[in-house]
Amino acid sequence: MPLEDLKYPIGKFKMPSKITTQDVQAYISSIALFPKHLQKVSLSLNDSQLDTPY
């Protein structure tokens, strides 16, 4: 696997040329919903999976 793929597994950040108020609201909503999504996913994990180091 190329080093670049290891350094940026989801790709390099690309800054939008313009950020609108709608974009900001979408970013805020995404951040606000993240804890609920994380909780939902983590409920399906067993103790061994939860104890797996990063």
Residue range 13-36, pLDDT digits in tens: 999 999 999 999 999 999 999 999
Cβ neighbours of residue 16 under 8 Å, at least 6 residues apart?
Answer: 23
pLDDT at 18: 98
In terms of pTM, does the model score above 0.85? no
- State percent of the chain over pLDDT 90: 74
Q: Under a CB-based contact definition with an 8 Å cutoff, are residues 44 and 37 in contact?
A: no
HSE at residue 22, side-chain half, CA atoms within 13 A, is: 1
- Centroid of chain to Cα 30: 10
Which domain does 37 fall in, by range?
3-51
Q: How many domains does the chain divide into?
A: 1
The amino acid sitting at 6 is L
> Residues 25-53: what's their mean pLDDT?
96
pLDDT at 9: 87
